[in-house]
Amino acid sequence: MRIKWFSAVRVMGLLLVLTYHFFKQFFPGGFIGVDVFFTFSGYLITALLLDEYQTKQSFDLVSFLRRRFYRIVPPLVLMVLVTMPFTLLVSRDYLASIGQQIMAAIGFTTNFYEQFIGASYESQFYPHLFLHTWSLAIEVHFYVFWGVLVWFLSKRGWKAEQFRGAVFISSVGLFLISFLSLFIRSFFVDNLSMLYFSTVSRAFPFFLGAIFATMSGIKETTKRYRRNAKNWPLHYPLLGAIGSGLMLILLGFTLNFDHLLTYLFGFILASFFTAVMIYCCRVLSDRTPEAIAEPGLLTVLADISYGVYLFHWPFYTIFKQVSGNLVAVFLTLVFSILFSGLSFYIIEPSLQGKVPKIFDIELETQEYRKPFLITIGILSLLTLGLSVTAPKVGAFETGLLADSLNQAERNLNRTHTLLAGDAEAVTNVMVIGDSVALRASTALQSTLPDAQIDAAVSRNFTAAYEIFENAIQTGTLSKTVVLAVGVNSLYNYEEDIQKFIDGLPDGYRLILVSPYNTGDARPVKARDYELTLAKKYTYVTVADWYETASDHPEIWAGTDGVHFSEEGGVGAQLYADTVNAAIKEASKKAAKGETE
């Protein structure tokens, strides 16, 4: 039984995710599209299970899992096999640990894998091609857990209404456990991605959907629902569905991934608006005259939405490395729609022993069976070969590790000199930086031979302030402090920077390195704010890396848009020169507490 207008919910989730990945600078909160999918899945699966129990007074767990297998696994495997030949177009860094990524994707443990390696969802030097399967992993975890729990409840011999009540109570309890896990843990983690990838903390949208399923249903509906569907004026569910959709879009424009409020309230609001949209669409399905059909395009997009979600991320990640963004978006959509349509309308029905159909036209595919199997075999061998020969660690990460070790050795030598009593070894410049500064550490040390450089991957303002504060307490703070961590701290940066300004002792100077990220509008706002601070405080100077980086597009070829290319050392030297120029400029101005 297909419910009219449910396709709108699926398409809403897909469009949120696509716009987030394609145009994140304009739509930073589109990641809530995943919560739309989660909530809808929880609703749909639970409603179908309730219908099955109502009809049979039992629940066939094996059949349930088999249906999930045929719907989930074939397009997933096809996505992995089809993606691999395209990796030959880009840097081998994208193949680093690809075998582990494939095993995690097919084994539905990508979220655990990303947690294990301490990955950040939004900040990866070379994005994992199958990173997006973290959500599929959590979805499968829900299917297995929820299927077993509902099967257990079905064995109690309850009447249909008692069974529905038990499912409702279970849904409420699990929803509260999951959401409170997210809410409370948000205050105690440094890397919010660990929460984002967590099965326990991110499962609550499924159970919210399940709650709404027990209150309405698909085939077997509740008395309250039937009363609402009958008595509500048509504009109630219509405005409810449209209004909820608009609220989801608004959240897509306003939420930020690493903002605490997103975890405290953003995800729950997205799930709630989705649940309301589902309920209203369910009412509209009953109230819409049979003569009014769901638009065919909407139905098709809903049918292939899962496939498009699977295929779009690796294609986009690859295509944007070899073309401009708009071209990459176009190619991604073409290939994603092509392969997801092939999977949904032809491959999946064929594997289930059904006759493939497109627009109710039956297709004879038997003669293509052998060429298809040969193609799959070739792609499998290619995937195996690329996985076996892929580097365990990409050249970029290897370079960062080498820079980190070199930096540690230089700092150790400086410490030995200081302990030996050479007071001149105490520098007047301290650089507190992130992975961009770490990438430029050799050039920085060459340009500023006496500077103390402390840079680390993924460092943000919070971690930098701990170093800053410790240096003050131990009396080791240099007279000029260079703060180069903005790219990882693009939210609440006003308050974060102000802490450094307020905490800076008299007689010291602060240099802010403006952040840069190709295609991201957020660093522009941070840079503009830093420039206003430089005008307000004489002891604050901006090392305008954003301007330098924008003026030299050649250093970004084949990179992630944050970490410049190492080719020829040009990017690193430009970074060091920008910092050095700011230091010279700062030296001509009064320090904090001094008058010019």
Give residue limits of the domains in the chain: 6-389, 395-587
- Residues 88, 102: Cα–Cα separation, whole Å: 16
- Residues 491, 122: Cα–Cα separation, whole Å: 13
Measured on CA atoms in the order 248, 249, 250, 255, is the torsion positive or negative? Answer: positive
The 10s digit of each residue's pLDDT in 356-377 is: 887 777 777 778 888 889 999 9
Residue 509 pairs in a beta bridge with 480
Question: Is the confidence at residue 415, as pLDDT, over 50?
Answer: no
Question: Is the confidence at residue 543, as pLDDT, over 90?
Answer: yes
Whether the CB-CB separation of 13 and 305 falls below 8 Å is answered with: yes
pLDDT recorded at residue 424: 32
Q: Structure tokens of 308?
A: 């498009």
pLDDT recorded at residue 409: 52
- Residues 87, 122: Cα–Cα separation, whole Å: 21
Q: Provide the 10 A C-beta neighbour count for residue 536.
A: 9
Residue 357 pairs in a beta bridge with 362
> In the chain, count of helices (H) and strands (E)?
27, 7
Question: Is the confidence at residue 426, as pLDDT, over 50?
Answer: no
Q: Residue 92 carries which DSSP code?
A: G
Question: Is the confidence at residue 200, as pLDDT, over 80?
Answer: yes
Q: Structure tokens of 127?
A: 């994005």
Whether the CB-CB separation of 284 and 60 falls below 8 Å is answered with: no
Q: Residue 482 carries which DSSP code?
A: E
Amino acid, single-letter form, for residue 242: I
Question: Is the confidence at residue 526, as pLDDT, over 90?
Answer: no
Mean pLDDT of the chain: 88
Whether the CB-CB separation of 259 and 186 falls below 8 Å is answered with: no
* Of 258 and 508, the one with more pLDDT: 508
Between the alpha carbon of residue 593 and those of residues 174, 505, 509, 565, 579, the distances in Å are 56, 8, 10, 40, 23
Please give the average per-residue pLDDT across 339-345, as a whole number.
94
* Confidence label for 124 from pLDDT (cuts 50, 70 and 90): low
* Of 494 and 35, the one with more pLDDT: 35
Whether the CB-CB separation of 238 and 288 falls below 8 Å is answered with: no
- Residues 317, 558: Cα–Cα separation, whole Å: 12
Distance from the first to the final alpha carbon of the chain: 79
* Confidence label for 417 from pLDDT (cuts 50, 70 and 90): very low
Please give the average per-residue pLDDT across 59-82, as a whole number.
94
In degrees rounded to 5, what are phi and psi of residue 418?
-65, -45
Across the beta sheet with 480-484, what order do the strands follow? 452-455, 429-433, 480-484, 509-513, 540-543
Fold of domain 395-587: Rossmann fold (3.40.50)
Residue 52 pairs in a beta bridge with none
Closest C-alpha to 380, from 82, 51, 68, 43? 82
* Confidence label for 404 from pLDDT (cuts 50, 70 and 90): low
pLDDT recorded at residue 208: 98
DSSP assignment of 154-197 equals HTT---HHHHHHHHHHHHHHHHHHHHHHHHHHTTT-S-THHHHT
- Residues 216, 464: Cα–Cα separation, whole Å: 51
Question: Is the confidence at residue 166, as pLDDT, over 60?
Answer: yes
Between the alpha carbon of residue 55 and those of residues 43, 89, 199, 593, the distances in Å are 18, 53, 32, 80
**pTM, two decimal places:** 0.82
Please report how many Cα atoms fall inside a 13 Å half-sphere around the Cα of residue 126, on the Cβ side.
23
Residue 248 pairs in a beta bridge with none
pLDDT recorded at residue 85: 95
Query: Which H helix or E strand runs over 71?
Result: helix 61-86
Whether the CB-CB separation of 13 and 43 falls below 8 Å is answered with: no
Please give the average per-residue pLDDT across 66-84, as a whole number.
95
Question: Is the confidence at residue 44, as pLDDT, over 90?
Answer: yes
Question: Is the confidence at residue 416, as pLDDT, over 80?
Answer: no
Strands (E), 276-376: 357-358, 361-362
- Residues 82, 66: Cα–Cα separation, whole Å: 24
Q: Provide the 10 A C-beta neighbour count for residue 541.
A: 25
- Residues 437, 454: Cα–Cα separation, whole Å: 9
The 10s digit of each residue's pLDDT in 544-592 is: 999 999 999 888 876 777 888 877 789 999 999 999 999 999 988 899 9
Question: Is the confidence at residue 489, as pLDDT, over 70?
Answer: no
Amino acid, single-letter form, for residue 223: K
- Residues 593, 596: Cα–Cα separation, whole Å: 10
- Residues 32, 37: Cα–Cα separation, whole Å: 9
Percent of the chain with pLDDT over 90: 60
- Residues 544, 512: Cα–Cα separation, whole Å: 8
- Residues 136, 314: Cα–Cα separation, whole Å: 15
pLDDT recorded at residue 399: 52
